[in-house]
Structure 1
Amino acid sequence: MLPSEKFFGQLEVVHTFSGAMPTGVTISETGRMFVCFPKWGDDVPFTVGEIVNGTLKAYPNLEVNTSNDKVQPSATFISVQSVVADGRGTLWVLDTGSPNFSKPMKGGAKLVAIDLKSNKIKRSYTFQPNVVLDKTYLNDVRIDYRVGKAGYAYITDSGSAGIIIVDLENGRAFRRLDGAKSTSPDPYFVPKVEGVLLMDRSKDGKTEPLQMASDGIAISPDGRKLFFCPLSSRHLFAISTEVLRDQRILDHELLYHVEYWGEKGASDGMITDARGNIYAGDYEHNAIRKIRPNGEIETIVHTPTLLWPDTLSIGPDQYLYVIVNQLHRQARFHYGKDLREKPYALVRIKIGQNPAPTS
């Protein structure tokens, strides 16, 4: 028998999904588990759900998850890409308003705060046309309550490269690093997943490079530094959150404040723990990497079942939770043929660290 590749890291299956493909997961400070299902072509009965005693249920209810022509897009969830529990009793829901990557619906692209005690929406933040652009795809969000009167939100835009900043007190939002090299797809990046080049391949035989902009996002435990990466890239970047919020610094000057942290592998989701370690998936190598504050990188999981690690979340139990969804096997990458094999999974691994605080 010939030698073979070595796999390592003890992943534990938490939940499996036999229906729509999930992208996001978050664990609240009390251990509640929330997931989301964007509308990319699957039958999605609800776009936000909670796993309760092993059963997946619409959250906060089915009505909020039901959109139709009779309801304003701002009043219901359209197509949610990300859910983030802030550790302070609020679930933040990032709604792209863009089913199948369409132009965002007016009022449909929004950031929604849900009170986890009452399970009711507290506030919804919508965006002006100069913030959510025609090609915008809201991807992921991080919250920090240590600045401003009510805190700030940082959102990656993977459609029109950039980062959106939201003042949670008044809802004022603005774009930063718009079209910058650090938020844009790497033009020389050619991903390989399961040994095959990953490209958009349509039914008519047309092929195009995978061009997804700023996606993964993480914030340092003190809230002073924001880490981010394009999906179509292996590079990690960072910037001072104070500088990012300061609109007196012009866009062309802001570029000089971006820090390059080197290659970390091609990642979808990222998250930080309370000690400042960054965890990032590596979808080319079925792996999860740990990037220490000094820049050192360690692979903590490498296993053939980690088929596209998407969103990451750290629970109060000091486990790292990961959505595994075979995103690269979707029909759009294989001439219209869906190669995904159900079930999709939520898995976890013990890291012995708490999540980074938001306050």
Structure 2
Amino acid sequence: MNAYKMALIAILALNIAGNVFAADQASEPVVRWNSLPYKLDDSRAAEKWKASPLFGKTLAQGLKFDSAGSMYVTTARWGGPDMPATVSKVVKAGDKYELAPFPSASLNDISNLDGLKAVLGFEIDEKDVMWLLDQGHVAGQPSGPKDEKLVLWDIKANKEIQRLVFGPEISDKKCSFLNDVVVDNESGFAYIVDSGIFGDPLCGGLIVYDRKANSARRVLNATKFTNDDRNFSFAINGRQVLKNGRMRTGADGIALSGDRKTLYWTSLTGNTLYSLPTTLLRDSKVSESELEAAVRVETQLPSNADGLAADRDGNVYLTALQLNGVLKWEPATRRLTQVAYNPEMVWPDTLAFAPDGTLHVLSNHLHLWVDGDMDFTNPSVPNFTIWKLPVKANSYLN
């Protein structure tokens, strides 16, 4: 029995139990693209991009909102160095939406030694500071000495206010895959997941960042909690992921509870939601064995998840890849529900709260892109969609 059928059986069972419900009609597409249109003010850069074999074949991944409601999207340079930006602001041009390099074209310039190379996960905190997590790896190649880093950009002041370049003891330059970040300005800490996909076995882990000291340390390195489930395989709409072999990805989605007391995460190739008390993570005297002993299995999910988000009330939202939707985990009641479903929501990747509390998700058919099977020739095919979901709550950052 394949993973797709197993997921359907699981969701049916949960429906019968009254724990999960679908909401086919309630998710609303806000922006749709067949291919991503960059807005480039430099004519030479625009011509260079148009001449690239990668032109029009960029994969959209991350999504966040600032306090003014502006949307930002990340496009990690998995395909190659030609992409004109890895972080962009979504701007309206007539009745269409384009991607303008953010914070600037120069910071996104691949030749800039101090610039942004391959940003996948990021966060915009309650002070409108953008936390940019740079994977460093371009098209899967080893990163340079200053490429894997965390950069803090003040959107309102339009300036960089802090950065930390990760040493090899924090993120391995060959193995690491820096994936996502959540922020706690009350304690001055942030938490990062590293999927560790460029090694066998994987080298997944968590990274704890201390903003005041501008330092980081790595925990739970290559453990069963941060690597993948080696026996896990899955399908999207009946199609095996991937066609040339199983996808293997460690710690991937991450969320921080509204009271800042609990950190949640999942591995992409696995269906377990884990948690840890943040007091333990912030204490450098707590040993690895103590951390491992404190990891809690929150629940087994009916689908693996990619993006996670949490609201102020402590609920955790998870994209459900095999169910074309979004799940909600309520730790207080131990209840799991499906809060969004749409058959066109294929590979829901990143979750993001807008300023009005509405939850959004970017779906991107990621498995088709990785397999080289994405159709960029038909404008009516929406490869990338930003959805408004039937969820309204205060973000954990609110």
Fold shared, TM-score > 0.5 on shorter chain: yes
One-letter identity of the residue aligned with 1:15: V
- Whether 2:267 is the aligned partner of 1:230: answer yes
* Aligned-partner SS, 1:351: strand
Instruction: Specify the alignment match of 2:361 in structure 1.
Output: 322
Aligned-residue CA RMSD (Å) = 1.8
AA paired with 1:239? L
User: What CA deviation, in whole Å up to 9, does each residue of 1:311-334 have, x standing for no partner?
Assistant: 10111212111111000112x44x
In structure 2, which of residues 297, 304, 321 is the aligned counterpart of residue 260 of structure 1? 297
Q: Structure 2: 5+ residue runs without aligned partners?
A: 1-11, 13-21, 37-57, 197-202
CA distance, structure 2, for counterparts of residue 259 and residue 34 of structure 1: 33
Please name the residue that 2:213 is paired with: 170
Q: In structure 1, give the amino acid aligned to 2:287.
A: L
Instruction: Indicate the larger mover: 49-58 or 160-169.
Output: 49-58
Q: Tell me the amino acid that sits aligned with residue 112 of structure 1.
A: V
Q: In 2, Cα distance between the equivalents of 1:96 and 1:178?
A: 17
For the 8 Å contact 2:325–2:342, the answer to whether it is kept is yes
Question: Which residue does the alignment assign to 2:6?
Answer: none
Task: Give distance in 2, aligned partners of 1:188 and 1:121.
Answer: 43
Q: Please give the alpha-carbon distance, in whole angstroms, between the structure 2 residues aligned to 1:235 and 1:297.
A: 13
Question: Runs of at least 4 residues of structure 1 off by over 4 A?
Answer: 336-342
How many Å apart are 1:137 and its aligned residue? 0.7
Give distance in 2, aligned partners of 1:200 and 1:259: 33
Contact 1:225–1:238 (Cα < 8 Å) also in 2: yes
Counterpart-to-counterpart distance in 1, 2:25 and 2:193: 29
User: Displacement, 1:103?
Assistant: 2.1
C-alpha deviation, 1:87, in angstroms: 1.4
Distance 1:217 1:248 in 2: 23
Q: Deviations over 1:198-234 (max 9, x none)?
A: 1361xxxxx3x21100000000001110000111111
Give the letter for the 1:105 counterpart: G
CA gap of 1:166–1:188, structure 2 versus 1, over 3 A, is: same
How far, CA to CA, are the matches of 1:120 and 1:179 in structure 2? 36
Query: Match for residue 14 of structure 1?
Result: 30
Whether 1:352 and 2:376 are equivalent positions in the alignment is no
- Equivalent-residue separation in structure 2 for 1:96 and 1:8 (angstroms): 35
Q: Report the counterpart of residue 219 of structure 1 in structure 2.
A: 256
SS at match of 2:153: strand
Amino acid at match of 2:366: L
Q: Percent identity?
A: 28
Deviation at 1:55, TM superposition (A): 3.5
Verify: 1:245 aligned to 2:285, yes or no: no
Whether contact under 8 Å (1:236, 1:262) holds in the other structure is yes
Alignment of 1:103-252 (within 5 A): 103-133=142-172, 134-147=174-187, 151-159=188-196, 160-199=203-242, 201=244, 207=245, 209-252=246-289
Whether the 8 Å contact between 1:103 and 1:136 is mirrored in structure 2 is no
The whole-number CA distance in structure 2 between the counterparts of 1:321 and 1:347 is: 5
Report the TM-score, using the length of structure 1 for normalisation: 0.89
Once residues 128 and 319 of structure 2 are traced to their aligned partners in structure 1, the CA distance between those partners, rounded to angstroms, is 27
| Alignment length (residue pairs) | 338
- Report the Cα offset of residue 44 of structure 1: 2.1
Report if the CA contact (8 A) 2:24-2:340 is conserved.
yes
Is 1:61 aligned to 2:99, yes or no?
no
How far the C-alpha of 1:181 sits from its partner, in A, is 0.9
Alpha-carbon distance in structure 2 between the residues aligned to 1:353 and 1:229: 22
Structure whose residues are more often helix by fraction: 2
State how far apart, in whole Å, the 2-side matches of 1:247 and 1:82 are: 25
Query: What code does the residue aligned with 2:397 have?
Result: P
What's 2:338 paired with? 299
* Deviation for aligned residue 1:254: 1.4
CA distance in 2, matches of 1:273, 1:337: 36
Q: Secondary structure at the match of 1:99?
A: coil
Give the secondary structure class of the aligned counterpart of 1:284. Answer: helix
SS in 1 for 2:362: strand
Equivalents in 2 of 1:85, 1:281: separation in Å? Answer: 19
Q: How many Å separate the matches in 2 of 1:328 and 1:337?
A: 9
